[in-house]
Structure 1
């Protein structure tokens, strides 16, 4: 049975853009969603940048999206914490994307007896900040991470990212963090709630089997795997699950909108 798709979730890197350049068909895909007034969100595990920052980066590549259509792991984390302990406090390790999201969710950022230690991505992890996090967690703070990615890209090659630093803190404290971002379907459910969409009529477009596709399946979505990112057709058979549909790129999905 073919599902009627009314709402769309899509990954950003590898689906819409690659190294700052729009993937062919991406701008038309987003324009068609907007022209037909389809509810959609662009999802990213990147917690460094605010939605405003990412909107500007997409616009520079030729993709025009409103700030409200971008949902980061930092925003999902802030929403999760606000639901758990409204008006709580956190010691945050991260960049403006994370601290701004927490602040706008009504959270107090503090180093003194916080409810949570929240670890996000940053290009400048400091030993002092990690040590502070370890001591606060041992003192009773709950341990939350924006996403589990072990490495992040850079022009020089892979960089240690949130998941790698989280492993170091876990080794020092014996406490496992709760990861909010992909592949946790929690991030998808929060995105569905944000655009008032239902899983039965929503599709997820991604380029990674181990995050986008598996989380989409677990959230009950129709999953499209595009081959413009990190996954090849041969890679698909290595996994014990399959996407609903495999396409070359988002250009192939415009007619499905």
Structure 2
């Protein structure tokens, strides 16, 4: 399925599996980002990773050779903070997460507390505390609304997979019987907040991702054209399992170099 070609495309793109893989840039990714910048193409890196601030992520990406300004990064922590600010301005939250989440919530005007908070907000951390999880369960039981940054059950590390927010949310849900509201992909709310942050419109925006179950469906449900790259989780065989298709399938973002203004001129992978 090929989308109608607008006068100029904007790009949303995932980070892990699209631009980097295990702390190394995907071949061609630095050149692709450089071309977007040179041609003044509107773009945003959209990641479910809520651990780091966007300044931290920009520095981590720069260390791999990817020069991406911090205002071109959008995280599930930032989307969660904006959602909560819209729902309950000046609210309070008990937070399980790292500085990326706590910073975003503070900037949104939230107070972080364990005393009768309006929300329990679950993000990701490399050191989940049994004590903090117990507190979260008791607060949700007492009536705090349960929100999580992203539904990913696992995340990558150099040693293998790690439990992520989705898996830990399942623990709290099992203990309380209360389902969390997930803000990050595949929730199209995340995509719409990303679009607003760069002033882009869904009709002229592409979502580039490596996962059918998060990136592609999130783009589809937000009304975006979608490109699946085969440098991450999903492969050609994976596509057949889903009742929807990306607009284009390519080997990697390297295929888009020289075609950023007309991405559908690229010869895609046959599926």
TM-score, scaled to structure 1:
0.97
Partner of 1:244: 247
Q: How far off is 1:156 after superposition?
A: 2.0
**Deviation of 1:6 (Å):** 2.1
Q: Matched residues in 1 for 2:45 and 2:126: separation?
A: 23
Contact residue 22 and residue 158 of structure 2 kept, 8 A = no
Separation of aligned partners in 2, 1:100 and 1:196: 23
Partner of 1:2, secondary structure, is coil
2:184 aligned partner: 181
The answer to whether structure 1 residue 84 and structure 2 residue 117 are counterparts is no
Match of 1:32 in 2: 35
| Aligned twin of 1:8 | 11
- Give deviations 1:98-140, integer Å, cap 9, x for gaps: 1111011111001111111000001111111011011111111
C-alpha deviation, 1:155, in angstroms: 2.1
1:99 maps to 2:105: no
Following TM superposition, by how much is the alpha carbon of 1:244 offset from its aligned partner in structure 2, in angstroms? 0.4
| 2:165 is the alignment partner of 1:136 | no
Matched residue SS, 1:203? strand
CA apart distance, 1:56: 0.7
- Once superposed, which parts of structure 1, at least 4 consecutive aligned residues long, lie more than 2 Å away? none
What is the rounded CA distance, in whole Å, between the counterparts of 1:6 and 1:227 in structure 2? 21
Per-residue CA deviations over 1:206-246 (Å, capped at 9, x if unaligned) read 00000000111000000000011111112111111100000
Residue pairs, 1:1-257, within 5 angstroms: 2-4=4-6, 5-254=8-257, 255-257=259-261
Is there any run of 5+ residues in structure 2 with no aligned partner, and where?
262-271
> How far, CA to CA, are the matches of 2:43 and 2:117 in structure 1?
35
SS in 1 for 2:146: strand
TM-score calculated relative to the size of structure 2: 0.93
Query: What is the number of equivalent residue pairs in this alignment?
Result: 257
For the residue of structure 2 that corresponds to 1:143, the secondary structure is strand
| Distance in 1, Cα, partners of 2:184 & 2:105 | 15
